[in-house]
Chain A
């Protein structure tokens, strides 16, 4: 069956440009997560949605980062005025239930963002 998909897979942006990264979770999954993975590091939590509600955005690095999931399915992570330190792989994950503490999170392939 279809897994989590993300687009674009690769994005090159000039410093100062705005970018939008898309995530299509597994159909019917309630929970959706965004993670940021810098080169040589493990993924770090950015934000969490339960259906359309953004319940936790504590991991967003700055107010230039904004995420939404307006209809409780597809999600978009937007980065305004990109900086070089934003270069990373952005991973989206979804899980079936509300509480992920007993649930597997299924990850997409990621979007590799390079800011020049």
Chain B
């Protein structure tokens, strides 16, 4: 079963704009990860944020985590056409089974040139 829900399901923006995607989850987590998937490169790891972290940056990516609300957001700044892809959040549960990723359904991002 899917652990998380991404919001929105689909997002269309113009090149240069920022894109924000949200993820909610249900159980206590060890960490939360964001992945990108497109037909050309498959599923690619973007960033990992641990449960004791609140914000993390990597290049044009900014991830926040609010464990009290069981939610995370991914911000892509200054988007490019090449950012067009599906974005998934995935959680690693706290405690047992702390090896497998539980994915949400994803947000389809389209960046128009």
List, in ascending order, chain A residues with CB within 8 A of B48's CB.
Answer: 104
Specify which of A56, A102, A105 is in contact with B101 (CB 8 Å cutoff). A105
A56-B100, A101-B92, A105-B101 given as contacts; is B42 within 8 A of A42 (CB)?
no
A99-B99, A101-B99 given as contacts; is B105 within 8 A of A107 (CB)?
no
| Bound complex: CA A104 to CA B35 (Å) | 10
A43-B43, A106-B45 given as contacts; is B30 within 8 A of A101 (CB)?
yes
| Bound complex: CA A104 to CA B90 (Å) | 11
List, in ascending order, chain B residues with CB within 8 A of A48's CB.
Answer: 99-100
Contacting pair A100 B100 (CB below 8 A): yes
Q: Which residue of B lies closest to A108 (CB)?
A: B42
- Asked whether any CB of chain A lies closer than 8 Å to the CB of B18, the reply is no
- Those of A21-51 within 8 Å (CB) of chain B: 31, 33, 35, 40-45, 48
- Asked whether any CB of chain B lies closer than 8 Å to the CB of A109, the reply is yes
A100-B92, A101-B92 given as contacts; is B100 within 8 A of A109 (CB)?
no
- Asked whether any CB of chain A lies closer than 8 Å to the CB of B2, the reply is yes
| Bound complex: CA A106 to CA B45 (Å) | 7
- Those of B83-106 within 8 Å (CB) of chain A: 88, 90, 92, 97-106
List, in ascending order, chain B residues with CB within 8 A of A99's CB.
Answer: 98-99
Contacting pair A56 B97 (CB below 8 A): yes
CB of A3 to closest CB in B, whole Å: 9
| Bound complex: CA A27 to CA B76 (Å) | 32
Specify which of A41, A45, A93 is in contact with B102 (CB 8 Å cutoff). A45
List, in ascending order, chain A residues with CB within 8 A of B102's CB.
Answer: 45
Contacting pair B31 A41 (CB below 8 A): no
Residues of A within 8 A of B (CB): 31, 33, 35, 40-45, 48, 56, 59, 91, 93, 99-102, 104-110
Residues of B within 8 A of A (CB): 1-2, 4, 30-31, 33, 35, 42-45, 48, 88, 90, 92, 97-106
